[in-house]
């Protein structure tokens, strides 16, 4: 409003009053679902108009077109009282805007809510356009902000021309499951402008030079300003997409946002007609990357990990605590217990009903890798566990096996999204966000018909194994425990896993192919150089053994725990109170405090800050045990974590030192 006044009516104040009455107010519409926000919108608009010189007392009595209604739903027709009658009037007038008014501009800051409660038939039908032909296990397209984009798109399509201008969650500009959404927007509009403001603390975003990157709001999700333009002339071509980044601290971003749209340095995107990304991607290395073998093709089966939906109930770091909880659960637990552990039915998982049909089996308490190096106990029952992930877990439970953990469509693959386990696995063992859960690739598959059978076969595609054998001129032994395995001229399943593990931990590999590692499972380049192959196998094996804490040097502790006390972890680890104190800047070592008196000494700073997946294990392990007491076993376990992290950093650098050039051939 102020922009219109300042640009067109300065010096023409005599025309402003009639312009507001006859042109501005009839074309200004707003929908708000919250009463307080609705009232505030009216108040602020009244104040703004008054500041420009508009006199309400001399106006034509037209109300401000801000309505109390849910934008994504049609109005209710049945009303029962005076207040409801007023609401009905609001809804009817809002509905008239939706159906009759030629809306040319839709702008705002739509709400972000993955678990949207806006599930009306009208908007659900519209959003289906964004879900066509998607073959993903989980489609994250029901967020409110996505529904509001589709809602605005519908207005402009109906009108035949117009502009959408939103500041919103930016996950849609490069999310894999958003590809049909982007295609739909490209088909509707003629030009699309994306001003990426970044600021995603979930991804630990930093500026290109490694500096601090802040959100323009006090939220964790990254945001972008999106402008979609549709001209009246028919255009059968897909839209042109223009992109620009804004990095840095919040004040700097605010300053840059004072620029006019035409002052921004836009770069035209050459998008590919597969994912239609609205960000700039470097595809120069794609041809060499595609020569690698897709991880999901190398292994015959994979699956995400266990998801209980009630971890505080079914998972515990103490076996006896878990046992007691299960006894209470199965013996008509009281209301307080049910409330504390979310023991209730849901539409897809009727836990209260299931408990009545199964018996408590203490033998169902199993060890699980919950987070990197964080072993806990789970009450695991396929009948009771919400998502038991039996496709893979049946080959781990009661069997000797090793599982490679990796990610698919991982937007934060610059962190180390690869790990191993010989236990049951939770869905988010390595991935911070539920939507980016890890995938598990067991090394062996066991006979399903006999749970106690030791008969197994490698979970590897035979054609790919034959290709590798030919390339390396080696004979394949299908079990690494076979007496023939390890002899000169042979290789086995564990060699393959260790080689892959080394590649996934190469810093150069991660940086070189980071754009493609965000899109699908990793592709693994296999060398024909036999010497290089065995060197990488050796490094991968060393990594695996440290991560399983079974390396011969895992017990060679480099830290001390020198002060006696009650061993209770009371220190809260936050940004302002990190828990780590640097004591030797030259050696970059320090102390990790667990309370006001006790600490682990000689802890390398790199270990404290080291990432595996979305977690910093040296910090995460302690955070999750606050108010618990360390016993001898758990204190030594933490010290072994530090050993593993330091050696992981060393071995990763050594892996890069073995590879002279990329791509590996």
As a whole number, mean pLDDT of residues 329-337 equals: 82
- pLDDT at position 82: 43
Question: Taking a C-beta distance cutoff of 8 angstroms, is the pair 200, 214 a contact?
Answer: no
pLDDT (mean) for 34-56 = 91
Whether the predicted pLDDT of 81 surpasses 50: no
Give yes or no for residue 629 having a pLDDT over 90.
Answer: yes
Beta-carbon contacts of residue 502 (< 8 Å; ≥ 6 apart): 536, 537, 539, 540, 543, 655
Percentages (nearest 5) of helix, strand, coil residues in the chain: 40, 20, 45
468 confidence band (pLDDT: 50, 70, 90): very high
With tokens 């093709």, the residue in question is 297
Residues 130 and 109: beta-carbon distance below 8 Å: no
Q: How is residue 14 annotated by DSSP?
A: H
pLDDT digits (tens, 9 = 90+) for 136-187: 766 778 899 999 999 999 999 988 999 999 999 999 999 888 999 999 999 9
In sequence order, the 6+-apart residues with CB closer than 8 A to the CB of 590 are 580, 581, 582, 583, 584, 603, 605, 608
More confident call, 15 vs 93? 15
Q: Say yes or no to pLDDT of 288 above 70.
A: yes
CA-CA-CA-CA torsion for 253, 435, 178, 202, nearest 10 degrees?
10
By the 10 Å C-beta count (0-12 exposed, 13-18 middle, 19+ buried), 513 is classed as: buried
Q: What is the mean pLDDT of residues 60-89?
A: 65
Residue reference for tokens 């964080």: 374
Please tell me the predicted confidence (pLDDT) of residue 411: 60
Residue 1 has pLDDT above 60, yes or no: yes
pLDDT at 267: 96
| pLDDT computed for residue 433 by the predictor | 58
Q: Which residues 6+ apart lie within 8 Å of 315 measured at CB?
A: 308, 322, 368, 370, 376, 377, 378, 379, 426
* Mean of the per-residue pLDDT values of the chain: 90
| Residue 324 pLDDT greater than 80, yes or no | yes
207-251 pLDDT per residue, tens: 999 899 999 999 989 999 999 999 988 778 999 999 999 999 999
The angle formed by the CA atoms of residues 169, 170 and 172, to the nearest 5 degrees, is: 105
What per-residue confidence (pLDDT) applies to 61? 77
pLDDT at 497 > cutoff 90: yes
Interval 341-356 mean pLDDT: 80
3-state secondary structure 429-481: CCCCCHHHCEEEEECEEECCCCCCCCCEEECECHHHHHHHHHHHCCEECCCCC
137, 104 contact by CB (below 8 A): no
pLDDT level of residue 85 (50, 70, 90 thresholds): low
| Mean pLDDT computed over 285-299 | 94
547 exposed, middle or buried (CB, 10 Å; 0-12, 13-18, 19+)? buried
Tokens at residue 377, please? 């106990």
d(C-alpha 214, C-alpha 243), whole Å: 19
Residue 105 has pLDDT above 50, yes or no: yes
Structure tokens at 421: 């386990």
Q: 122-131, 549-558, 561-570, 600-609: which range is least confident on average?
A: 122-131
> Is 524's pLDDT higher than 90?
yes
Q: Is 88 helix (H, G, I), strand (E, B) or coil?
A: helix
φ and ψ of 102, to 5 deg: -80, 85
């Amino acid at each position: 409003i102020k922009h219109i006044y300042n640009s067109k009516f300065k010096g023409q104040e005599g025309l402003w009053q009639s312009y507001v009455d006859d042109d501005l107010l009839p074309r200004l519409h707003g929908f708000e679902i919250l009463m307080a926000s609705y009232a505030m919108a009216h108040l602020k608009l009244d104040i703004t108009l008054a500041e420009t010189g508009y006199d309400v007392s001399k106006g034509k009595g037209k109300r401000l077109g801000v309505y109390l209604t849910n934008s994504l739903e049609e109005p209710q027709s049945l009303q029962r009282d005076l207040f409801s009658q007023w609401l009905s009037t609001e809804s009817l007038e809002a509905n008239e805007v939706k159906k009759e008014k030629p809306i040319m501009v839709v702008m705002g800051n739509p709400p972000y809510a993955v678990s949207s409660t806006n599930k009306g038939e009208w908007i659900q039908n519209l959003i289906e356009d964004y879900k066509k032909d998607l073959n993903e296990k989980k489609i994250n397209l029901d967020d409110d902000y996505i529904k509001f984009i589709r809602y605005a798109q519908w207005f402009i399509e109906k009108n035949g021309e117009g502009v959408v201008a939103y500041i919103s969650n930016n996950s849609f500009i490069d999310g894999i499951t958003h590809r049909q959404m982007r295609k739909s927007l490209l088909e509707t509009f003629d030009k699309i402008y994306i001003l990426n403001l970044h600021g995603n603390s979930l991804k630990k975003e930093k500026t290109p030079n490694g500096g601090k990157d802040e959100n323009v709001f006090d939220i964790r999700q990254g945001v972008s300003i999106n402008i979609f333009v549709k001209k009246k002339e028919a255009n059968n071509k897909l839209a042109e997409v223009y992109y620009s980044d804004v990095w840095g601290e919040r004040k700097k971003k605010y300053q840059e946002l004072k620029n006019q749209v035409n002052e921004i340095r836009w770069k035209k995107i050459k998008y590919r007609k597969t994912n239609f990304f609205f960000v700039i991607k470097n595809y120069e290395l794609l041809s060499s990357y595609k020569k690698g073998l897709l991880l999901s093709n190398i292994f015959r089966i994979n699956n995400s990990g266990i998801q209980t939906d009630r971890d505080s109930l079914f998972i515990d770091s103490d076996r006896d605590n878990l046992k007691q909880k299960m006894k209470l659960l199965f013996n008509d637990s009281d209301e307080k217990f049910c409330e504390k552990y979310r023991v209730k039915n849901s539409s897809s998982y009727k836990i209260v009903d299931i408990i009545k049909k199964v018996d408590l089996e203490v033998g169902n308490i199993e060890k699980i890798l919950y987070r990197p190096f964080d072993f806990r106990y789970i009450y695991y029952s396929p009948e009771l566990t919400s998502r038991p992930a039996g496709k893979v877990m049946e080959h781990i439970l009661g069997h000797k096996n090793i599982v490679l953990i990796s990610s698919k469509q991982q937007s934060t693959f610059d962190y180390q999204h690869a790990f191993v386990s010989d236990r049951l696995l939770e869905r988010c063992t390595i991935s911070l966000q539920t939507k980016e859960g890890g995938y598990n690739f067991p090394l062996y598959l066991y006979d399903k018909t006999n749970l106690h059978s030791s008969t197994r076969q490698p979970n590897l595609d035979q054609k790919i194994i034959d290709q590798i054998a030919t390339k390396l001129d080696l004979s394949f032994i299908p079990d690494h425990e076979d007496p023939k395995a390890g002899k000169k001229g042979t290789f086995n399943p564990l060699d393959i896993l260790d080689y892959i593990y080394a590649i996934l931990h190469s810093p150069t590999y991660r940086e070189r192919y980071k754009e493609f590692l965000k899109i699908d499972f990793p592709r693994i380049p296999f060398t024909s150089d036999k010497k290089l192959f065995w060197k990488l196998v050796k490094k991968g094996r060393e990594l695996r053994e440290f991560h399983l804490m079974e390396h011969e040097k895992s017990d060679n502790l480099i830290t001390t725990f020198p002060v006696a006390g009650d061993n209770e972890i009371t220190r809260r680890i936050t940004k302002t109170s990190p828990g780590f104190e640097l004591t030797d800047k030259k050696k970059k070592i320090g102390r990790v405090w667990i309370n006001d008196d006790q600490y682990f000494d000689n802890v390398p700073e790199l270990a404290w800050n080291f990432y595996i997946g979305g977690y910093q294990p040296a910090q995460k392990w302690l955070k999750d045990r606050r108010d618990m007491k360390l016993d001898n076993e758990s204190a030594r376990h933490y010290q072994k974590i530090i050993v593993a992290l330091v050696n992981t950093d060393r071995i990763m650098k050594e892996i890069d030192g073995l590879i002279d050039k990329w791509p590996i051939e």
